[in-house]
Amino acid sequence: MLRCRLIPSAVVTLMLLQGVAMVLLFGWYGHLMPSTSTAPQGKVHVLLLSSWRSGSSFLGQVFSQHPSVFYLMEPGWHVWTTLRQPGARALRMALRDLMRSIFQCDLSVLEAYTPDQRNVSNLFMWSNSRALCSPPACPLTPRHSFSNETECRRRCDARGLQKAEEACHSYSHVVLKEVRFFELESLYPLLHDPTIDLRIIHLIRDPRAVAKSREQAIRALLSDNALVLEKGGQKVTDSDLRVLQEVCRSHVRIYETAMLKPPDFLRGRYKMVRYEDMVRDPLEEIENMYKFVDLEMSPQLQDWIYKVTHGKGKGSRKEAFKITSRNAEDVSQAWRTTLSHNTVKRIQQVCKGAMSLLGYQLVDSEKEQKRLDLDLVVSRKRYQFSWLPAITTESPML
């Protein structure tokens, strides 16, 4: 009888070949199976997508003060102020990749955009993040307490980003606020990434109110204006309405992509919010946003939200980038008594299509503009922002 004797090296080779075959088989089988999210430990990633002077700083604080949230305000500022490119289009991929890393709590990506001897204070508007003022990033503010920005700036400016990265890993939600995306397509790789459970909250505001608010931050917006108009490095004059027109166009593009003909992977991961609805009924609107991203409202947060939206402040140039207690609904209507009707007409001309699509009524006269009893925001009950069939629609004229 013939006997087959295998020498040890042959046995090892056979076992290796068998192992490789099993890996290839399971890899091939895995490609056939539908992909599911494998975001680490159920971590949720939230993008607050908006534009300048639309109330996004307030919305950011609504999330930042939540004890389950690690929040950063506009990390894209670092990309726009560091890379020398002609405009927003050329910078969108770098911005997207920066956000991917931060969502995964890899803050080393920020080292490319900050000084060699970096502190936490090198991060844009860092003290707006309660998480950077709380353990493990800083011992100042207990996680279930509200942060004090002034004290945070004074006591939490740590060297290096290691503690900030450690903090990011310790939260269930990573929330980034950004005003530098003008379409959704460049975010598709994040929506496809199985390690990122991305939810997008798209905040819009009446462009007439945006124009009024921009007056309080003219100089601060000059370099951003040039990039929006694809004229980086140039001096851009008389640009406000052109920038506003681009912002209105971007809201239409984003809305139509997400609501009129959405790809399947975007369904259930996008929510549009109007600033006016949020300040009229802040508790209900914010609780709905929390539910959308799997956060819970607490009595402490309810009390904070009510106080910050029902104060006596009216907003001012000194408060242009600060969250102070003010009557938010009155502030949202301030444009009606302070902007000239000629200015309002010009804004309506460049943003007419967007205003019609998003539920903002036009005014035909100065008298109509100043009639504060006349509601210019179409009721949510009449204007439902809901999923529509994937049909081809013609974009409204802007």
**Centroid of chain to Cα 215:** 23
Residue showing tokens 């209900």: 284
Say how many Å lie between the first and final Cα of the chain, rounded: 89
Contact (CB, 8 A) for 65 and 304: yes
The two structure tokens encoding residue 83: 């890379």
- Phi and psi at 173, nearest 5°, equal -130, 135
Helix (H) or strand (E) holding 176: strand 173-178
Q: Other C-beta atoms within 10 Å of 303: how many? A: 11
Query: DSSP 3-state assignment of 50?
Result: coil
CATH architecture of 40-297: 3-Layer(aba) Sandwich (3.40)
Q: How far apart are CA 281 and CA 287, in angstroms?
A: 10
Instruction: Give 38-88 pLDDT, tens digit per residue.
Output: 455 789 999 999 999 999 999 999 999 999 999 999 999 999 999 978 899
The two structure tokens encoding residue 285: 């609107």
Helix (H) or strand (E) holding 223: helix 222-228
Residue 223: its pLDDT value, please?
86
Q: How far apart are CA 167 and CA 369, in angstroms?
A: 48
How far, CA to CA in Å, does 281 sit from each of 32, 64, 133, 381, 383? 46, 20, 29, 14, 16
Q: How far apart are CA 205 and CA 329, in angstroms?
A: 12
Contact (CB, 8 A) for 104 and 111: no
Q: Other C-beta atoms within 10 Å of 255: how many? A: 19
**Can you list the residues of the chain whose pLDDT is less than 70?**
1-40, 238, 312-326, 380-398
Q: How far apart are CA 118 and CA 266, in angstroms?
A: 37
Residue showing tokens 């100042």: 140
Residue showing tokens 């009595």: 299
Domain borders along the chain are 40-297
DSSP string, 269-309: SEEEEEHHHHHHSHHHHHHHHHHHTT----HHHHHHHHHHH
